[in-house]
Structure 1
């Protein structure tokens, strides 16, 4: 699976504070206060807690967040594009795809 260089560069090193499922999307809040919203086709059953992002990989509708501890959070996005939105703690757009 190909690395999403742009998103990796933006969130690499950020630690997940919480994962909140909301109907057809998942909101990931990082410890720096930034929030990433991902439109998903389904919410994964076992959502991990914590973890620091090492890299992001993406192929079609599969998005994977690789963590520094070796674990991976795999999400199925609703579409191949236009499903990820990241805003900093002040609500300023950092990434959109």
Structure 2
């Protein structure tokens, strides 16, 4: 582990870019509902964390802009191209995972 903050930041950024590449290019077939159920986060979480980090630094960013960064395209386009219907069991598992890991849906 490095004690150099700049190097650590660069390594963390590289790891984030690799994760985004993996989710966008190698595994766009992995559904957000499955990510949330299995890992406790999904692409929407990543976009929210990105938006929160920007806002905390005084950078104005709304949900749509953050999602476009994470999805590599407008969210609605990604949904149309990649999202598949989820059955009732998957929806229930998602609701439980969301409540546990994110909180109550708005």
The TM-score normalised by the length of structure 2 is 0.23
- Structure number with the higher helix fraction is 2
Instruction: Say which one has the larger Rg.
Output: 2
